[in-house]
């Protein structure tokens, strides 16, 4: 599978296989579904020097099993290991290491286990790192693969963003308005960061059967300013405006660090006015316009679901499931737009977590149903070469999806979920 370049932000160039061709060297991937039987770790790569990089990790204690092996203390027993590879499918291990996490939590407190591991990765080249996390108490494992981009000193992995309140790394690219952050550059030098600010209203993902081409992004920023790094290569940053901020050391290139500000409650949907936009995927234009123009969006949304279900209790349950999927889509798929607006977010919102996921270096294929079953439904996504994010994937659309999409939407409109959560 060739890498697909979709310069949605500048121009459109597609170099990928069609939907009828299968992924080569496909590898099973961890589920996107949030449940009690799996772990959803978060990672950040930071290049400390030309020969050393750091793998920062974050694990939610709620997703681990705490036992009392000594009869006294409840503790976790987790192994984190990695293998550094020259390519996605390489068998040659360039570096490897493991660490055991034993966390005592007698109060059953909700907390995050945060730490880092060193990788011997030399510039200028790229790598892939395969990470495996095993909860020994529960006998379950999850694996992740990250690309190590060490071919230049300008991309996002040369920066580490931390929360000023607790000095912990920011494990996602979004922040809350006015949240205080610290931006750290790999080199301890006083240098100027050039910041481009964008406040754009991006459209939702088009239906999977649509053939409409996306409009090219206008790269000219809405405004620009500078940020001065001190002699330690750090600077404080906070912003009240919603939108996204692109930090660059060299404005002649388009790579850099990008941070996004969506809302005070993101990734969750808590404000009444935020309930309406995700309904666009399952409403007619007339219905959506009426919902959008309502003076009381909360009541309008509740009425919409009541009309779908005919029952107040069922309406509450369907609302819970629908907006839980919106939140999960934001957690998993956010790029330069909110996760639920993306191609993967749209499919996830309507169909739920796929039964099987195959991933290559530059693509994902989702299957709903049994693997290799002709009656199963599959969606393929290709990674986008986007200077603002490494989490942007575009769906390979086809007219063959139209009938099934209509059926899935109708199921929601009948007050039922396509797949049970």
pLDDT in tens, 107-149: 999 999 999 999 999 999 999 999 999 999 999 999 999 999 9
Find out whether 322 and 381 touch, Cβ atoms under 8 Å.
no
Cα–Cα distance for residue pair 319/415, rounded to 1 Å: 9
Cα–Cα distance for residue pair 156/172, rounded to 1 Å: 12
Stretch (H or E) spanning 351 = helix 343-351
Answer whether residue 233 shows pLDDT above 70.
yes
For residue 31, name the pLDDT band (cuts at 50, 70, 90): confident
For residue 8, name the pLDDT band (cuts at 50, 70, 90): very low
Threshold 0.75, pTM exceeds: yes
Lowest mean pLDDT among 29-43, 101-115, 233-247, 337-351: 29-43
Residue-level pLDDT at 421: 55
Q: How many CB atoms are closer than 10 A to CB 340?
A: 27
Residue-level pLDDT at 25: 45
396: CB partners within 8 A, 6+ apart: 16, 18, 19, 379, 380, 381, 382
Answer whether residue 213 shows pLDDT above 90.
no
Based on its alpha-carbon atoms, the radius of gyration of the chain, rounded to whole angstroms, reads: 22
Cα–Cα distance for residue pair 311/309, rounded to 1 Å: 5
Cα–Cα distance for residue pair 282/321, rounded to 1 Å: 14
Domains and CATH numbers, the chain: 34-151 (2.60.40.10), 272-413 (no CATH)
Asked whether the CA dihedral 168, 173, 179, 182 is positive or negative, the reply is positive
Find out whether 363 and 1 touch, Cβ atoms under 8 Å.
yes
pLDDT in tens, 273-319: 899 999 999 999 999 999 999 999 999 999 999 999 998 999 999 99
Answer whether residue 227 shows pLDDT above 70.
yes
For residue 14, name the pLDDT band (cuts at 50, 70, 90): very low
What are the tokens at 246? 């692109």
Answer whether residue 367 shows pLDDT above 90.
yes
Report the first-to-last Cα separation within the chain, whole angstroms.
Answer: 32
In whole angstroms, how far apart are CA 205 and each of 62, 159, 278, 338, 402?
A: 33, 30, 11, 11, 15
């Amino acid at each position: 599978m060739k890498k697909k370049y979709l310069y949605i932000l500048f121009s459109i160039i597609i170099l990928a296989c069609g939907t009828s061709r299968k992924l080569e060297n496909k590898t099973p991937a961890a589920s996107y579904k949030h449940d009690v039987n799996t772990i959803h770790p978060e990672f950040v790569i930071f290049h400390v020097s030309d020969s050393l990089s750091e793998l920062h990790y974050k694990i939610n204690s709620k997703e681990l099993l705490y036992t009392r092996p000594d009869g006294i203390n409840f503790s976790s027993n987790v192994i984190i290991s990695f293998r550094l590879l020259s390519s996605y499918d390489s068998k040659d291990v360039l570096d490897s290491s493991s660490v055991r996490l034993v966390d005592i939590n007698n109060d059953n407190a909700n907390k995050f286990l945060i730490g880092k591991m060193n990788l011997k990765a030399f510039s200028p080249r790229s790598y892939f790192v395969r990470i495996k996390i095993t909860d020994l108490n529960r006998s379950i494992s999850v694996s992740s693969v990250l690309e190590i981009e060490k071919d230049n000193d300008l991309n996002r992995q040369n920066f580490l963003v931390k929360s000023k309140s607790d000095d912990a790394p920011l494990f996602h690219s979004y922040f809350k308005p006015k949240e205080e952050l610290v931006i750290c550059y790999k080199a301890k030098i006083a240098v100027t960061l050039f910041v481009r600010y964008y406040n754009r209203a991006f459209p939702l993902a088009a239906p999977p059967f649509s053939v409409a081409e996306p409009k090219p992004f206008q790269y000219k920023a809405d405004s620009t300013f500078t940020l001065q790094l001190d002699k330690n290569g750090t600077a404080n940053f906070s912003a009240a405006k919603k939108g996204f901020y692109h930090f660059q050391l060299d404005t002649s290139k388009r790579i850099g660090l990008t941070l996004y500000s969506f809302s005070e409650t993101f990734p969750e949907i808590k404000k009444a006015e935020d309930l309406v936009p995700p309904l666009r995927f399952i409403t007619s234009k007339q219905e959506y316009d009426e919902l959008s123009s309502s003076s009381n969006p909360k009541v309008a949304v509740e009425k919409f679901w009541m009309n779908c279900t005919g029952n107040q209790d069922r309406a509450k349950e369907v609302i819970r499931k629908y907006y839980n999927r919106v939140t999960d889509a934001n957690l998993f798929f956010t790029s330069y737009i909110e996760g639920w607006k993306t191609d993967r977010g749209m499919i996830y919102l309507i169909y739920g977590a796929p039964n099987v996921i195959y991933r290559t270096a530059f693509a994902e294929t989702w299957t709903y149903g049994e693997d290799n079953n002709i009656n199963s439904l599959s969606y393929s996504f290709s990674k986008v070469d986007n200077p603002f994010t490494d989490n942007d994937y575009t769906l390979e659309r086809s007219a063959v999806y139209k009938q099934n999409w209509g059926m899935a939407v109708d199921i929601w409109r009948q007050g039922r979920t396509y797949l049970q959560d």
